[in-house]
Structure 1
Amino acid sequence: MELAKPVIRLSVVQSRIRGVDVNRIEQTRQENLNHLLELIDIANNWGGPKDLLLFHEFPITGYSNRWNRQDLLKIAIEIPGEETEAIGKKAKEHSCYIVFGSYAKDKAWPNHILSITTIIGPDGEIVEKHWKPRNIKAVFGSGFELFTTSIYDVLDQYVEMYGWDAVIPVTRTPIGNIATSSIQKEPELFRAFAMKGAEIILRTASGGFNSFDVQATSYYNRVYTAIANNAVSPNNPGFFADGGSGGSAIYDPNGMLMKQANSVHESSITVTIPIAEFRASHYPPSVHMELYRSVFDQYVNRYPPNLFSYYQPEDTTDAFRYLSDKDAWK
């Protein structure tokens, strides 16, 4: 897609995270949405207008390890829905792209809880929504596993419905080729994005991330990479206020830090990206796949795909029970 302008301004907004109260779902979710809308205004007021705003993984619903499936089916938003319509109005008002994560539900996937990163365009319309590619397993300790659905958890069904291109989506926009992800420490995914033409990789987090992992995404793939983490978050039920907060950053294609949040508080960082100049000299990473293909073809993952196609666990404890005998490495 042809670029609309030679230079763009990207702003990462580091905002609080606050889990929706299951006893006051409508009210507390609306409070989170109102706060997000206010921050969109602030981000475009302070330092002038932006072309692209990036928020963290859960600005609308927040997160709680106490929720079960029935809770999340009530808390999760629909995309499109009232929330994306309100955000779309702000995107149109400020003529900018807005990217944010959220728990979501979809009538095409009954009983599933999805983690979606949504891109809304300056016309106020949804450009694309990206599923979380995978959830980590066997890392949280005894009795706890995530029960939300990722692409990997329903891979065959997902590909049948949307095709293989949607597994590693790169969204072509007039401000650059954008990929998004809420997962950490999976360099193969980010290499695949770059191989498909991603120029800007927008990463979201909640509760922390590894800065080196984000820097390496830029360094090894010669792309711009941004990470939006949550700010210090008072009154977030079940968590300390400083729950893995801060560190939001943007790296250039050489892996050099362009800008980083200078505190754990709510703030934004903004950089100017010469996207036309970058595109003129940019190539996807050179991967000598013939050297590695046989190794990848023989690799057996610890957990097979499609495990949530047949059963959706009720909560983190049930997910641990369900997955406990599915470990192929034991």
Structure 2
Amino acid sequence: MNQTALSRRALIGAAGGLGLTAAIGVSGTAAAASSGQPRDVVLNTDGRYPVAPLTKESWTLGVAQCRSMPVDLNRVEASRRENLNHMIGLIDAAFAFGAGPDLLFFHEFPITGFGAGWTRKDVLKVAIEIPGAETEEIAKKARQYGIYIVFGSYARDPDWPGHALSITTMIGPDGKILARDWKARNIKGVFGGEIELFTTTIYDVLDRFVEMYGRDAILPVVQTPIGNLAMSSVQREPELFRALAMKGAEVILRTATGGFVPTDIAATSLYNSVYTAIANNAVSPGSPFFEDSNAGGSAIYGPDGEPIAIAKSPNETLVMARIPIGAFRARHRQPTIHPQLYMDVLNGYTPRFPPNLFSTYVPSDLKDAGRYLRDKGVWK
């Protein structure tokens, strides 16, 4: 791909995959797998977007702010199971006093945690498979309570041997996996050149990803009977969330671990007139980091960018809010933008790091990633 003169169609696709998931209740690689064909990008021209019929006019979103404990590399299966059991216990706790949420949303790594100094081999060792034993256990709880459950995790995929992935998964009330969405990109060039993140994102293998799953899978939207849902663990790239809103996302579920910028989350709602939730980790006693490092702040924001529910402490807690999806959808449309004013600028922009850098080499650890990427930036 020419990095200095992108066509309008290529730019729009690469910047956000401004497409519409055609399969109701399926997104990302799941959509491609169910259809057998990669999907191209299509947008409605009247401000509307495809939806599934609603089964509820209003529903409850719950954000589970929970600990993040790294799997013990000396006892991987046992400690991963301990994390899973803790997560399952919190699902039960959400219903301890009667009616719980219709959708329960966890942070980026409730099952595997994030380990200081982990190599790619370590991540692949602690990672789960989707579907797998862990998703089966979570699916049982989804069926028991009749809820959607969303969570992030390090994951392995047999279609991508050797690649350590960060996947956000959505399981429906029937226990079926509705989405398993890759992280769209990692930020590069912000760690002084000494280290870089080594998990493989869509941007890191963009051409192959599109060949396998289609452009529509880059930023998928899941059309469910409680609304159009989108998931992401990306921070500080508002264009991605604008693209999701243009595709019809009504509720955007954003995961974090180790902190986030509240303004970034609020702006997602304000600029796109959508609901946005952020799930961060809680204080985590016994982790290899300071227990309260950037913990807490999990929240749900309304379409005006104001918080409608926010964690009152950095400890483990449940944040809940009602989403009046019926009334919202009746008046909601795609964001109003004027691309003719700035498309020339976007067409002329050269990203600091090109895509596909992990297509031929996958770094072994943070330092190796820093070494490998040090001379791959095209900015001077």
TM-score range, shorter chain: over 0.9
SS of alignment partner, residue 208 of structure 2: helix
CA contact (8 A) 2:277 2:299 kept: yes
Counterpart in the other structure of 2:142: 91
State the 1:276 CA deviation. 0.5
- Aligned amino acid, residue 177 of structure 1: N
1:251 aligns with 2:251: no
> Could you say which residue in structure 1 is the equivalent of 2:112?
61
Q: Confirm or deny that 1:198 pairs with 2:239.
A: no
Is this contact kept in 1: 2:63–2:279, CA < 8 A?
yes
Q: What does residue 357 of structure 2 align with?
A: 307
Matched, 1:165 2:247: no
Contact map agreement 1:65 1:316 (CA 8 A) in 2 = no
Deviations 1:105-132 (A, max 9, x none): 1000000000000000000110011100
Distance 1:247 1:77 in 2: 27
Q: Is the 8 A contact 2:193 2:371 kept in 1?
A: no
Match of 1:11 in 2: 62
The alpha carbon displacement at 1:65 in A equals: 3.1
CA contact (8 A) 2:70 2:115 kept: yes
Equivalent position SS for 2:359: helix
Per the alignment, in what secondary structure is the counterpart of residue 264 of structure 1? coil
Task: Please state whether the residue corresponding to 2:281 is helix, strand or coil.
Answer: coil
- The question of whether the paired residues in 1 share the 8 Å contact of 2:193 and 2:374 is answered with no
CA distance, structure 1, for counterparts of residue 358 and residue 98 of structure 2:
45
Name which of 280, 284, 288 aligns with 2:334: 284
Question: Aligned partners of 1:35, 1:245: CA distance in 2, in Å?
Answer: 18
Give 2:45's aligned residue: none
Q: TM-score, normalised by structure 1?
A: 0.98
Contact 2:166 2:201 in 1 (8 A): yes
Shift of 1:47: 5.5
Distance 2:55 2:337 in 1: 30
- Choose between structure 1 and 2 for higher RCO, CA contacts under 8 A separated by at least 6 residues: 2
Q: Which SS does the other structure have where 1:9 is aligned?
A: strand
Offset of residue 49 of structure 1 = 2.4
Any residues of structure 2 matched to 1:181-260 within 5 Å, and which? 181-237=232-288, 239-260=289-310
Q: Does the residue aligned with 1:212 lie in a helix, a strand or coil?
A: helix
Gaps of 5+ in 2: 1-51
Partner of 1:179: 230
Aligned: 1:23 with 2:74: yes
DSSP-derived class of the 1:172 partner: strand
Pairing partner for 2:166 from 96, 115, 119:
115
Amino acid of the residue matched to residue 74 of structure 1?
K
**Counterpart Cα distance in 1 of 2:374 and 2:304:** 41
Letter of the aligned partner of 1:165 in structure 2? D
Unmatched 5+ stretches in structure 1: none
Contact 2:106/2:151 (CA < 8 Å) preserved in 1?
yes
TM-score by length of 2: 0.86
Q: In structure 2, what is the Cα distance between the partners aligned to 1:112 and 1:171?
A: 25
Separation of aligned partners in 2, 1:62 and 1:78: 15
Answering whether residue 352 of structure 2 is matched by residue 327 of structure 1, we say: no
Question: 2: CA distance between counterparts of 1:49 and 1:66?
Answer: 38
Runs of 4+ in 1 over 3 A off after TM superposition: none
- The alpha carbon displacement at 1:138 in A equals 1.1
Partners of 1:312 and 1:10 lie apart in 2 by: 37
Preserved CA contact (<8 Å) 1:58 1:206: yes
Contact 2:276 2:302 in 1 (8 A): yes
Distance across 1 between alignment mates of 2:345 and 2:95: 48
SS of residue in 2 equivalent to 1:177? strand
